[in-house]
Chain A
Amino acid sequence: MAAVLPFARTDLATLPSEAGAWRRAWRRLRRRRSAMAGLIVVCAFVLAALLAPWLAPFDPIETSWSAIRQAPSAAHWFGTDDIGRDVLSRVVWGTRASLLAGVVSVSISLALGVPIGLAAGFAGGFVDALISRITDAFLACPFLILAIALAAFLGPNLTNAMIAIGVSATPIFVRLTRGQVINVKVEDYIEAARALGNPPLRIAWRHVLPNILAPVLVQATLAIAAAIIAEASLSFLGLGQQPPAPSWGSMLNTAKNYVDNAPWMAIWPGLAIFLLVLSFNLLGDGLRDALDPRQR
């Protein structure tokens, strides 16, 4: 233990500058108006999801046969659906399924993809070749079609949809992490850490990972946008959130049968998906510019 101590100090010495880099990135991000707009809208949706029981004017699954397919009015701002449920309340509650799906599926991709990518990039040789070929195989299956197949075999519900989306998006993170590791691995400071006798796992965790975090974070933000669309798509096809629980995708699935006499049923949930996905995309693009000054 004693032998490690002096090196632990050098680790500490690198921390303030690392924090400084993140602070500088945040300052650059704050200057980008579109990214900040994205961040604000994302925060608003998070609040809506957390405060849904207080924000929604009606019970999202309570039907009312006296209020079927009513146009937007003072009582029902977004109108009512085919069995008299309040569309606004369902959109507010639906935020939970979408955000949950976005965050959970990307967490699954990160938890699987980053360690596998680290292993491939760090180990090289046969391990790398094997992991890369398996990644290629996953990438050859179109993302949504793979997710549909996985969700079909696992059984249709929100949890399985999140697993299916997370697994389908994993290869992107494997490939990204592997590529970054291969770039970083040859840097002098990694060589130095190795020369000092650090075990490989420690090098990967303390020295490689912090240096590849920025592109992974950018990709994760953009992947949340893609995952939210994917969850809405699976729910639209009937493979995600099951009725009567509210989800934007399944609301659109019902709405498509009533386009001619209740268009508001389709407009609001779609607009919600669009706004949330757009915001994550704006935030992701902004993060990329802020974290990687070379790209500008």
Chain B
Amino acid sequence: MNGSTGSKWIRRPGGCAVALAAAGLLIAGCAQQPAAPPSPAAPPAPAQAAAAPAKPAATAPTPSQTIDPGILETLDRMGSYLRTLQSFELKTNSDSDVILDNDQMAQFSRWATMKVRRPNGLRADIRDDSGDRKILYFNGKTATLFDPDNKFYATVDAPPTLAEMAKVLSERYGIELPVADLFDWDSNRIDAKAIKSADFLGYAEVDGSMTTHFALRQEGVDWQIWVERGASPLPRKLVITSTTEAARPQHSVLLRWNLAPKFGAGDFEFKPPPGAHRIVIRTTEGKVEAPGN
């Protein structure tokens, strides 16, 4: 799995130079070794690194235009691992850039608790920094969006799987789940064709856990993901940068996992409380879908 990219030095913030050793070995090492804090002084390059790692960082490293196959392998392992989780509760904290009309960025935050019970149970409680709350329910047949404050809810037909439901909510209704990519990662292999470049940026601590930090580039989006090292290759942080916008707005998500959640009996079924009103919902095309249609 040795790539032909040789060694590249990339200086991480904090001045710690990290050798990108020839492809696979280092990345494979990321995944299997127990979490150990990297020594900043010693390059973690395994003996197999073909090129001499002595290039000084002063000769500016060229941007990677290649895909480190070890990264794709780690991401596929992450997806496979996610697939094995029959139930989980994921808490997320997101910060998203909005572009103002003077091209200035403003950042808004939200928090979500997402309960998933495979194959087709999902409940997301979302709260944003304005205090607005929404609860999304999915039961394999319908998806319901409920606002506990004004008690309006809308229910739509949904496909039977989490991944398809996420896609329909996004494309048809403009509703994004807190980590919308989660159900693509755990249902598909990473599409290497879509990826223009992928770099390993070293080990990083996120929320107390050691992770491998990857930076990838695709059409219209640069993204970074921090995958937990060790036995549970979970995504711990995600940063998505929109490159179609000159202002390059970012969306970042911190993920906290509970792999042994306790669910209530009615968690995934929406029961309209007294005073709740079912209302219509607009599609992204502007069509209005009314109850009973």
Chain B associates with chain A: no
